[in-house]
Amino acid sequence: MLNPLEHPVCLEFPLWLEETAWAEHIPFAMFVVSALRPKVFVELGAFRGVSYCAFCQAVKSAKIETRCYAVDTWAGDEHAGMLEEGVLTKLRAHHDPLYAGFSRLVQSTFDEAAEHFADNSIDLLHIDGFHTYEAVQHDYETWLPKISETGVIVFHDTNVRERGFGVWKFWAEVKGKYPHFDFLHGHGLGVLAVGKETSRQLEVLFSANEDEAILIREFFYQLGSRIDSVRMFHGQQNRIEILQTYEQVVRDSKTMRIYRILKTEGVGGLMKKGIKKVAKDE
């Protein structure tokens, strides 16, 4: 039976938590880094960097000699949404002081980046780019030769069946060819051992029976849901602060000052004060 607590890094809270659909899988990301101990990790589709920084945090905490690469254009897309200006700059400000010694943020298309990695060189690959069936199939086929003999590929959004997402369909086709594990929460996460050899630590995951699989999913769901709750709380706090700012702007506006005079003193009061004077005072 798999014992995730043999890899206590999975209990760490992420240092970087922006808006993301990945928060519930952060504990597993940290676990798989500790269990697999990859020499090279690549993420395709870093977006705001929440998942990528979680992988990097695990590398640093577990003191593993891993070279990490996040590949993205940082332009956004139809499924992930278009990124606001300054996202990459903000991510670098967090990432570089902590992880620049072993990690690079590579601003590039996936196909262009693939040319710079040797075959059989990547031990852990996270595919989270454009989510149509054709796109994920292309990313998989392009990067599969790059995977090492103990390599593992992780697919996000394997449980989304809307807005043209096709990862679920590709995952259903490919998972039967290799040892695999399905997480159903957090939009779904598929773990695929495509290498000729399977890590001893992960072999227990892939060989879990139905009851064991339920316990594993529940364990990582419970850890991840707490992280996502904090993310949602921070998001709500930010929205409240924005609304309060808007409210203050409206309260201080000329229009609201005239409205308050009309409401309390009527037209006569407004005429007495003088509309122009009220506007000028503002």
pLDDT tens-digit readout, 209-231: 999 999 999 999 999 999 999 97
Q: How many CB atoms lie within 10 A of CB 211?
A: 9
Domains: count for the chain: 2
Residue-level pLDDT at 282: 47
User: What is the pTM for the complete model shown?
Assistant: 0.82
Residue-level pLDDT at 122: 98
Same structural domain, 273 and 167: no
Same structural domain, 99 and 195: yes
Residue-level pLDDT at 163: 84
Residue-level pLDDT at 85: 76
Same structural domain, 102 and 163: yes
Residue-level pLDDT at 3: 84
Same structural domain, 147 and 239: no
Residue-level pLDDT at 231: 76
Residue-level pLDDT at 55: 98
Same structural domain, 43 and 102: yes
The residue range of the domain holding 64 is: 4-231
Same structural domain, 273 and 180: no
Residue-level pLDDT at 271: 62
**Residue by residue, what is the 3-state secondary structure of the chain?**
CCCHHHCHHHHCCCCCCCCCCCHHHHHHHHHHHHHHCCCEEEEECCCCCHHHHHHHHHHHHCCCCCEEEEEECCCEECCCEECCCCHHHHHHHHHHHHHCCCEEEEECCHHHHHCCCCCCCEEEEEECCCCCHHHHHHHHHHHHHHEEEEEEEEEECCCCCCCCCCHHHHHHHHHHHCCEEEECCCCCEEEEECCCCCCHHHHHHHCCCHHHHHHHHHHHHHHHHHHHHHHHHHHHHHHHHHHHHHHHHHHCCHHHHHHHHHHHHHHHHHHHHCHHHHHHHC
Same structural domain, 71 and 167: yes
The CATH number of residue 32's host domain is 3.40.50.150
Same structural domain, 154 and 51: yes
Which regions in the chain score pLDDT beneath 70? 76-83, 233-263, 266-282
Domain termination site, one of 231, 251, 272: 231
Same structural domain, 11 and 145: yes
pLDDT in tens, 167-188: 999 999 999 999 999 999 999 9
Same structural domain, 241 and 105: no
Same structural domain, 212 and 102: yes
Residue-level pLDDT at 86: 87
Same structural domain, 215 and 244: no
